[in-house]
Amino acid sequence: MEFTTAESFLHEGLLQSFELTKIIVRIFFLTGQNLKQYILKTNVYPREPSPLKELREVTAKHPGNLMSTAPDSGQLMGMLLKLINAKKTIEIGIIAIDPNKETYEIGLPIIQKAGVEHKINFIESQALPVLDKLLQNLSTKYPDNEGSFDFAFVDADKENYLNYHERLLKLVKVGGLIVFDNTLWGGTVAQPEEAVSEDRKESRRSIIEFNKSVSIDQRIEIALAPSGDGLTICRRIR
Ligand SMILES: C[S@@+](CC[C@H](N)C(=O)[O-])C[C@H]1O[C@@H](n2cnc3c(N)ncnc32)[C@H](O)[C@@H]1O
């Protein structure tokens, strides 16, 4: 793969000065930020339902706010949910399965005000054992889960994305969708490893492995939408 790094600019003879190259890279970065703001301000925020706006604003005040899924990705998923008329959905990371209930409780008053709490079954747990339990139909509350979900969203530990994918492929019906967040991992998937900060390396490797694996997976159709931090949409076809 060829990388457009400051160095490759120099090799292409576009610029002679590394300092100048840094400025150009920064301009590209700013343009990306401006475009993102443009999309949010023109297309996303004006149409955001008020509970989602409230949720976004509450989340913005939380120290872990960087973790939240981008509003444009949320809008795209809202569209997908309507297009497939999704009734039964599952989320890994915050709303449905999460080891940390505190974050769910931040959003709970908003969920209650929106009158949808009865539609959500929050499970405080590591996700893999819950998915395995669902597949074994061990819960009396939720029997017959295989092939019963219309839609799944995953935004949890990147190291387990492929494990979640395998289980969700059984839980989601043929024609259903599994959507994974952060599949561009801040753009680092297209950077050489040495350019990536230490704390991002392990997840980057998992995401690269995940992206490679789903790209050749014949059980699904895929589209990687460059929305938010990258949203991979997988449609189960067999
Ligand atoms: C990036 S955040 C999700 C943010 C969420 N999409 C939002 O917009 O608010 C990832 C979440 O996954 C949860 N998580 C991480 N590892 C997990 C695991 N093994 N099982 C279940 N949840 C996990 C974390 O506790 C965290 O709440």
* Ligand 1 geometric centre to CA of 215 (Å): 24
Burial letters for 44-66: b for 16+ Cβ neighbours within 10 Å, e otherwise? beeebeebbebbbeebeeeeeee
In the chain, % of residues over pLDDT 90: 74
Residues 17 and 83 in one domain: no
**Domain span at residue 153?**
50-236
Determine whether the shortest distance from the Cβ of 233 to ligand 1 is under 6 A.
no
Bigger pLDDT: 20 vs 222: 222
Confidence at 21, pLDDT banded by 50, 70, 90: low
* Ligand 1 geometric centre to CA of 8 (Å): 37
Residues 31 and 61 in one domain: no
Question: What is the per-residue pLDDT for 20?
Answer: 65
Bigger pLDDT: 33 vs 126: 126
Section 27-51 average pLDDT: 90
Determine whether the shortest distance from the Cβ of 111 to ligand 1 is under 6 A.
no
List the beta bridge partners of residue 162. Answer: none
Residues 10 and 87 in one domain: no
Residues 5 and 121 in one domain: no
Q: Per the structure, how many domains does the chain have?
A: 2
Bigger pLDDT: 20 vs 18: 20
Judge whether residue 48 has pLDDT over 90: yes
Residues 123 and 16 in one domain: no
For 82-133, how does the pLDDT look when each residue is reduced to its tens digit (9 = 90+)?
Answer: 999 999 999 999 888 788 888 888 899 999 999 999 999 999 999 999 999 9
* Ligand 1 geometric centre to CA of 98 (Å): 6
Residues 34 and 128 in one domain: no
Determine whether the shortest distance from the Cβ of 100 to ligand 1 is under 6 A.
yes
Residues 22 and 55 in one domain: no
Judge whether residue 49 has pLDDT over 80: yes
Contact yes or no for 211/183 (Cβ under 8 A): yes
Bigger pLDDT: 163 vs 20: 163
Residues 96 and 3 in one domain: no
Q: Whole-prediction pTM value?
A: 0.89
Determine whether the shortest distance from the Cβ of 157 to ligand 1 is under 6 A.
yes
Section 215-229 average pLDDT: 97
* Ligand 1, atom nearest to 94 Cα: 27
Confidence at 7, pLDDT banded by 50, 70, 90: very low
Confidence at 168, pLDDT banded by 50, 70, 90: very high
Distance CA 80, CA 197 (A): 34
Residues 41 and 130 in one domain: no
Residues 85 and 199 in one domain: yes
Cα separations in angstroms, 95 against 16, 38, 69, 99, 107:
51, 28, 12, 11, 9
The mean pLDDT value of the chain amounts to 90
Residues 42 and 57 in one domain: no
Here the CATH number for the domain that contains residue 129 is 3.40.50.150
Burial class (CB in 10 A: 0-12, 13-18, 19+), 208: middle
Judge whether residue 152 has pLDDT over 50: yes
* Ligand 1, atom nearest to 100 Cα: 25
Residues 2 and 59 in one domain: no
Question: What is the per-residue pLDDT for 207?
Answer: 98
